[in-house]
Chain A
């Protein structure tokens, strides 16, 4: 006699990001990442902290498939960033620091181009929907060359989320923004995370923003990941520190 039907086995959803022993050295032989192990679960807003030259952007370049690491592995949404590049690029959005799109094209033309590159079936509808979502519909028909930094940033975010990626990478997203722009960006990140369930991976120096937006943080120091935990656990762990900045300075000062 057959026993009760076992519940269907659903494969575990892989983490948003998994780094195992990730290393990278540039052609001059200088190693900027010394074997990073890092796991970021889905739905997190991860703040990647570190001084200039710590290797944050290099790590992001590997995760966004722009760089092939010299050692270790990087997986995004369950796919290898080197051997399964197409699968990864279908699932990520990327906003680089100092975003510059095509200045001779309008915002809508730029976005339509990126929508088509992403293989969207209805690129124009996706552009309109995304601009409306970001409350940037008024920018659609203006050329990017006439935009302020804040406007460019909004269109940059639109291009990054047009195709509703599972993981959104933001490299120094608040650089050059005025306080109003920073606040708008914070609202956007939080709503993308809450409404669409996007995992956000953010390189930043703005510690105040990290405290307001991120759910977990990691600290990179000279190519080594010296800390990773949730914001809540971090503030519990360092109760004497007055602010996240003090915590960061204390962690960054730890000799490696």
Chain B
């Protein structure tokens, strides 16, 4: 039964134009991340070669190659920006579309007069959504590896591939959270458009508002040389700084930076702790989705939009 529901969802998603449009944007942005990395790499190499040539002409020794000091995966650092933006939007669309027809079009009325429980039905939908997101990220992973091969001229090492896999695994969990948010808002609102708007509102809060509150709210930060500890010593700013530990989007970016070796090095245990808010949010939103699906009144007809 779960496979039946999931298969229906695959076919329906494949034919939704909005899904295909956002998917194309995400894959284009992944390619762009690789292209930007390549451009940056190319420019630095040119400047370094020129500097070496000039220094050699002056009889001076050449400085070390700056790119040799940078980890290879740092070329993909923009991915940690694009995935919370375009990827999360795509996940919301996938989650929204997975239940919109059943709720807003009234198809749930027909489905739940069949011998299928709401839990089974919802589980099938979540399986489909999770698989679709995994497939999307797999396509992005292939694009990323291709970019690395083009830029570095060699296949990434096993360790680098492992880090890439870890990064995409983390991203999958992150996108799954937003897909569940897309599902929750469909169940919590009566109108199709309102459900999508509500999900986008949550996305904006988590992606932009909360980081502004936790990291951006440092009133003395622009007054050099006054440093953070002064501002955070005040109770209010201390609280906002602590709240950063619970900011899902910021912790995702920090963990992604660690995995891709673009941030300040920290122990793996610290990186692991950064994933906890995301896991907590996943469990919370998952339970909320299940609760709403069980209580939702599917006996009403189409609600418009």
Chain B nearest Cβ from A109, distance in angstroms: 6
Residues of chain B in range 154-206 having any CB-CB distance to chain A below 8 Å = none
Residues of B within 8 A of A109 (CB): 8, 11
A228 to B12 Cα, complex, angstroms: 44
Q: Are B114 and A89 in contact (CB under 8 A)?
A: yes
Q: Interface residues of A toward B: which range?
A: 20 to 34
Contacts of A194 in B (CB 8 A): none
The 8 closest A-B pairs by CB, nearest first: A66-B299, A116-B4, A94-B113, A104-B15, A117-B114, A61-B299, A89-B115, A100-B105
Contact status B112-A65, CB under 8 Å = yes
Which residue of A is nearest B298, CB measured? A66
CA of A113 to CA of B4, assembled, Å: 7
A98 at the interface (CB under 8 A from B): yes
For chain B, the bracket of interface size reads 20 to 34
Cβ of B136 < 8 Å from any Cβ of A? no
Q: Among A67, A86, A101, which residue has its beta carbon within 8 angstroms of that of B115?
A: A86
Instruction: Say whether A67 contacts B299, CB under 8 Å.
Output: yes
Minimum distance in angstroms from A1 CB to a CB of chain B: 51
Residues of B contacting A66 in the complex (Cβ-Cβ under 8 angstroms): 109, 112-113, 298-299
B13 to chain A, nearest CB (A): 9
Answer yes or no: B220 CB below 8 A from chain A CBs: no
> A159: which B residues are within 8 A, CB to CB?
110
Q: Is the CB of A90 within 8 A of B115?
A: yes
Is B106 touching A98 in the complex (CB atoms < 8 A)?
yes
The interface of chain B, by Cβ under 8 A from chain A, is 1, 4-5, 8, 11-12, 15-16, 101, 105-107, 109-116, 298-299, 301-302
Q: A98-B301, A100-B302, A104-B12 are in contact. Are A117 and B107 (CB under 8 A)?
A: no
| A66-B298, A96-B301 known; A118 vs B114 contact (CB < 8 Å) | yes
A105-B107 in contact (CB<8A): no
Known contacts A96-B110, A97-B301, A159-B110: A105-B115 contact under CB 8 Å: no
Name the distance in Å between B187's Cβ and chain A's nearest Cβ: 16
Query: Does A204 lie at the interface of the complex (its beta carbon under 8 Å from any beta carbon of B)?
Result: no
Q: How far is the CA of A25 from the CA of B302 in the complex (A)?
A: 22
When distances are taken between beta carbons in the complex, the residues of chain A under 8 Å from B113 are 64-66, 89, 92-94, 169
CA distance A169 to B107 in the complex (A): 16
Asked if A101 contacts B110 (CB within 8 A), the reply is yes
A103 surroundings in chain B (CB, below 8 A): 101, 105
Q: What separation, in Å, do the CA atoms of A67 and B1 have in the docked complex?
A: 22
A99 at the interface (CB under 8 A from B): yes
